[in-house]
Structure formats: structure tokens, C-alpha cells
A and B are shown apart, each in its own frame.
Chain A
């Protein structure tokens, strides 16, 4: 009789952060996937040079990657499930629009400024809810983008339903691409480092059980505040980038797409290791371009896929790939 057996590929490199690299091959084994990602991303604008439409899709894809990273970080490293990522997008976007269009802050200042300012605003608004757990936090974050939409509508501020126009556009096509590529990569690798630092450990501890964190003399709310700030910084950057990409800010920044697609992306890509979020967005966003023709039916497809992945407790595509990468199967006699 034969049965299949999984064997770790290679080497001593996988034992908890201790790397004993001895050959070029091992270095490649470790760094290969990362290099590939970087390389592919940097080449994309060049390859797609003749189809500006798809270059734009790449931008959108990266924006969603950022949102998905932000969701994944909050949900799986801190334990705060935020069902309203569009809240970050909206706040960041509107802040940038106001800075740029109303106050005439130049674009290279308005994006970073809006990211930070927006993140501060988001964090302050979410601060009172941080002590809530589980579903309660999820529900309240679902409400926030809706609330802001209705408030803007009702008070007719910031252009009301018409939105804010007259926003400076991003410079030249290639730069537009590379800004978001570089930022996304920096955030991805930076955050992966961060979660393995001691402070990152504390955040993971908060997810596991906040009582022990309290018993260790650490203020849980403060840790959560920092985490929310990081997540909203990422989200607000995405929002403000989008606003400059579309040269328009409006209520659609708070739209459902920005909340549901990142969640779907993380679920499909594999939750809990950030890169899954990126992979998920790389699959979903181009897919949705192909489905553009179906209009709102796209959301139906996302939702069905999302439900299937959640209901069947799938580990996600990335998890599968990485297992394949690190282990190989062989048939052995028993």
C-alpha cells in the first residue's frame, strides 16, 4: 500500500526566525518569492505601457491590496474586525480633497498630510468603541461609513451629493503607478516586520486574550489605538490616492465596494499573513474588471465566493501555495 506523505522542503531555514543560510540556493529559496513579487510589480507598468486602461486597473488593484492589508492586520493581528474599511477610504479621501481643492495644498503635501490627518480623525472617532469586543465592534464599524454618508448628505457639506471636484491629478502615468507600487511594497514588508517585533507580539497577544495583557500592566486600549492608527493610516492613504487618481471626491468613497472587496480578498487569499491579502486583491480586482459588463452583479459574485470560502473554512489560496512551496509530497510504502 502507498500513501502520500508531506516532507519539508529543504532546510533549517524555517525554524522560527533563526536562519542558517549556507548556500546561494537557500538564499534564493528564501528570498525568491519576495523578489518575484517586487519584480513583477515593477515590470507591470512597463509591460502594460500600451494599455493605459489596464495600468489604471493595476493602481486600483494596489489600492485594494492596501485596504485588504489594513483589514487583515486589524482582524488577524489585533482581533478587531472592521467591516467598514470604506470609512478609512472616505475620511482619507475627503481630507485630501478638502486640503487640495479648498485649501490649495499641493498634491505632494496633501496626500501624506491627508493620510496622517485622516488617520488621526479615524482613530479619534473609533476611540470610544475600542473597548467593545467581537460582533459589537464589527457592527459599529459597519455603521460608521453609513453615518458619515448620511451626515454629509443631510448637512449638505463638502459638496453634498455632488462631491468635491477640481482636485489636482497625479503626475504622469508612470509615476502614478510607481507611487502606489512602492508604498504598497513598503507597507507590506514593513508591516510584516512590525508584527514580529515585540510590539507586534503584544498586539497579537491582545487578539489572543486581552485579560493577560491587562495583567501584564499593559493598557489594552492604548495598544488598540496604535493598531487602529496604523490601519487607518494605510486606509486613508489609499483613499487620498484614489481621490487624486479620480480627481474627484464623493460619497462613493464610502461605498460598499471598499468594505466588502478587501474582506473577500483576505478570505480568498488567506487570512493572517498579509501577503494573502495582496494575492486576494490581485485575483479579485482584475476579475471584477472582466465582469464590469455585469454591473452590480459583480458584488453578487464576490459575495457568493466570499460565502463559499467562509462557509467551507478555506485556508485561502496563499496558504495553499506556501505549503506547496515549503513542502513536497511523495508516495511512500506502508
Chain B
């Protein structure tokens, strides 16, 4: 079943076409990758889908519901969550309190947070459970540290944790692997697979193709705001236009 579909999304910034009639559909429970060189409009696409910026043309459907003109918080409440490429934790709060906020939000209050926890119970405990799951050592002091003192690796995971806490149906990840060490990515991949098994749909914008291809079922490639290829990961990478787009880039 198709859970999320975008039809002909176009967005221009002062004459610059950031997205040019991009359409794609994502099946429920699949991991869908979006690749493309820098500035090809990947982040913009996520922003348009999640309502953070308004696109001029095109529609977005979530399970046949038109969510095109909805404000971001309403879209998030339906279970479509996102991470930010430039990490946006609550710097003045301790790491676990960062998760208390999404757990306090209307969606988690109604359904309970991740795995139903924290609905009426203690949000702090659930927050720490989630953090442990995502690789913050429970018995260390890391979960209690101020977010402003955490290194990038932890902040990236905190972004993901914030999504998970909301018990999402779709997660859109914007380059969560970038800035992580190979070891840290190795720790995240099983988590993503577990989420997938639990039925969460994951859309991943990613630069690190090798790691992405380990988890992705299907991949779409963007260039200059246009969709140039879609399909199985290794088919897409064989596509001549994709090769051309990445030519000279050592990531392939």
C-alpha cells in the first residue's frame, strides 16, 4: 500500500528552480532513499513534504489524505516526522529532556510515545529508554548532559530519537549518516532495520551511498531539482545520468 505520494512538486527560490515537478511514491514499510549531489534539492523536497516551506505547485498525499497545505505541526501529528540536516536540538536542555518535548506533544500523548510508553507514565524514564536504544549509554552521564555539550555523533542520533519518540509512521531523515564515524553508522543501521520491521516507513536523504544501499529498498536520484532516476539501488547507480551527475565525485 502506498503511504506517501508526492505529485509534481515544484519550488523556486527567487528564480532558481530548486524542485522541478518531482513525483514519487513510497510503499508502507519500505526504506526509500533519495540521493543527489549537493544543492540538488533534497532538503528542499523534505521541507515541502513536511510543510516547512510552501511549494508553488504539486500535491502531497498521506494515505489518500491531501496534506499539501497543512502547517508542519499538523503534518507531524499525523505521524510524518523529520530530522534536520543542520541539527536542531534544544541546546539549553539536557539530552533526555529533548525527548520529553515530543513525548509531551499531542501525538505521543494520544498514542503513547514509542512502543506506547510514556502515555500517562513518566516521560523522563521513557526518554532515557529511547536514548539507550539509540546508543546513549544509560549508565553513563551522557543522557543527562546538556545538548550543547554533546558531539555531532550524539546530536545526529538525538535528531532521530526525537522522531522515534513520536511513534511515527513515516520518518524523513536528512543526511543522518553524514558526520558520523563508520562505527556509529554501524550502530544505527540495525536500529533502522528494527524500525522497518516494526512497520515504520523511512525516507532517507543520504550522501553516503554505500551505507544507504545496505538499508534502502528503492532509491531516487535528483539533479538540479529534477528526478533523473528511480529504482533498485544498484540499478540507479548504473544509470548513465546518475553516473554523470556524480562524475568526479569519489563517493561512487
The short answer to whether A and B are in direct contact, CB under 8 Å, is yes
Knowing A201-B97, A211-B52, A212-B162 are in contact, say whether A217-B92 is a contact too (CB < 8 A): no
B52: A residues at CB distance < 8 A: 211, 214-215
When the two chains form their complex, are residues A211 and B73 in contact, meaning their CB atoms are under 8 A apart?
Answer: no
Knowing A205-B90, A220-B73 are in contact, say whether A213-B162 is a contact too (CB < 8 A): no
When the two chains form their complex, are residues B76 and A216 in contact, meaning their CB atoms are under 8 A apart?
Answer: yes
Interface assignment of A204: CB less than 8 Å from any CB of chain B: yes
Interface assignment of A174: CB less than 8 Å from any CB of chain B: no
Knowing A204-B90, A204-B92, A211-B88 are in contact, say whether A216-B82 is a contact too (CB < 8 A): no
Shortest B128–chain A CB gap in Å is 12
| Per-position 1/0 for A8-39, Cβ under 8 A of B | 00000000100000000000000000000000
Of B76, B89, B93, B97, the residue contacting A214 (CB under 8 A) is: B76
B82: A residues at CB distance < 8 A: 215
Knowing A198-B123, A201-B101, A205-B101 are in contact, say whether A215-B76 is a contact too (CB < 8 A): yes
Of B97, B107, B123, the residue contacting A217 (CB under 8 A) is: B107
Knowing A16-B94, A208-B93, A209-B90 are in contact, say whether A214-B73 is a contact too (CB < 8 A): yes
Q: How far is the CA of A220 from the CA of B76 in the complex (A)?
A: 13
Consensus secondary structure, chain A interface: helix
Interface assignment of A124: CB less than 8 Å from any CB of chain B: no
| Per-position 1/0 for B90-104, Cβ under 8 A of A | 111110010011111
Q: How far is the CA of A208 from the CA of B92 in the complex (A)?
A: 7
Of A16, A213, A219, the residue contacting B101 (CB under 8 A) is: A213
Q: How far is the CA of A208 from the CA of B93 in the complex (A)?
A: 9
Query: Size class of A's contact patch?
Result: 20 to 34
Top 5 A-B residue pairs of the complex, sorted by shortest distance between their CB atoms? A217-B76, A216-B102, A217-B77, A208-B90, A214-B72
Q: How far is the CA of A199 from the CA of B100 in the complex (A)?
A: 10
Shortest B28–chain A CB gap in Å is 20
Q: How far is the CA of A199 from the CA of B71 in the complex (A)?
A: 21
Shortest A204–chain B CB gap in Å is 6
Interface assignment of A202: CB less than 8 Å from any CB of chain B: yes
Task: Known A-B contacts: A205-B101, A209-B90, A214-B72. Give 5 more (CB < 8 A).
Answer: A201-B97, A211-B84, A213-B101, A216-B81, A217-B77
On chain B, the number of residues with a Cβ less than 8 Å from chain A's Cβ atoms is 32
When the two chains form their complex, are residues A216 and B162 in contact, meaning their CB atoms are under 8 A apart?
Answer: yes
- For A16, A215, A218, A219, the residue with the greatest tally of chain B CB atoms inside 10 Å of its CB is A215
Residues of A200-258 whose CB lies within 8 A of B? 201-202, 204-205, 207-209, 211-220
Knowing A212-B88, A212-B162, A217-B102 are in contact, say whether A204-B93 is a contact too (CB < 8 A): yes
Q: How far is the CA of A213 from the CA of B82 in the complex (A)?
A: 11
When the two chains form their complex, are residues B104 and A215 in contact, meaning their CB atoms are under 8 A apart?
Answer: no
Q: How far is the CA of A204 from the CA of B92 in the complex (A)?
A: 8
Knowing A215-B50, A216-B76 are in contact, say whether A202-B84 is a contact too (CB < 8 A): no
**Chain B residue at minimal CB-CB distance from A16:** B144
B162: A residues at CB distance < 8 A: 212, 215-216
Q: How far is the CA of A208 from the CA of B97 in the complex (A)?
A: 13
Knowing A204-B92, A211-B52 are in contact, say whether A217-B101 is a contact too (CB < 8 A): no
Residues of B156-189 whose CB lies within 8 A of A? 162-163, 166
Interface assignment of B153: CB less than 8 Å from any CB of chain A: no
When the two chains form their complex, are residues B105 and A212 in contact, meaning their CB atoms are under 8 A apart?
Answer: no
When the two chains form their complex, are residues B105 and A216 in contact, meaning their CB atoms are under 8 A apart?
Answer: yes
- For B104, B144, B166, the residue with the greatest tally of chain A CB atoms inside 10 Å of its CB is B104
A205: B residues at CB distance < 8 A: 90, 93, 101
**Chain A residue at minimal CB-CB distance from B76:** A217
Q: How far is the CA of A215 from the CA of B100 in the complex (A)?
A: 14
B81: A residues at CB distance < 8 A: 215-217
Shortest A203–chain B CB gap in Å is 10
When the two chains form their complex, are residues B106 and A217 in contact, meaning their CB atoms are under 8 A apart?
Answer: yes
When the two chains form their complex, are residues B72 and A202 in contact, meaning their CB atoms are under 8 A apart?
Answer: no
A219: B residues at CB distance < 8 A: 71, 73
Shortest B124–chain A CB gap in Å is 9
Residues of B69-89 whose CB lies within 8 A of A? 71-74, 76-77, 81-82, 84, 88-89
| Per-position 1/0 for B103-120, Cβ under 8 A of A | 111110000000000000
A218: B residues at CB distance < 8 A: 73, 101, 104-106
Knowing A208-B92, A212-B90, A218-B73 are in contact, say whether A199-B144 is a contact too (CB < 8 A): no
Q: How far is the CA of A199 from the CA of B123 in the complex (A)?
A: 12
Shortest A282–chain B CB gap in Å is 27
**Chain B residue at minimal CB-CB distance from A219:** B73
When the two chains form their complex, are residues B166 and A216 in contact, meaning their CB atoms are under 8 A apart?
Answer: yes
Shortest B122–chain A CB gap in Å is 10
23 pairs, CB–CB < 8 Å, chain A vs chain B: A16-B144, A201-B93, A201-B104, A204-B92, A205-B101, A207-B92, A208-B89, A211-B52, A211-B84, A212-B84, A212-B90, A212-B101, A213-B101, A214-B52, A214-B72, A214-B73, A216-B73, A216-B166, A217-B107, A217-B166, A218-B105, A219-B73, A220-B73
Shortest A200–chain B CB gap in Å is 10
Of B76, B91, B101, B107, the residue contacting A202 (CB under 8 A) is: B101
Q: How far is the CA of A307 from the CA of B133 in the complex (A)?
A: 48
Of B76, B77, B91, the residue contacting A208 (CB under 8 A) is: B91
Q: How far is the CA of A118 from the CA of B87 in the complex (A)?
A: 40
B91: A residues at CB distance < 8 A: 208
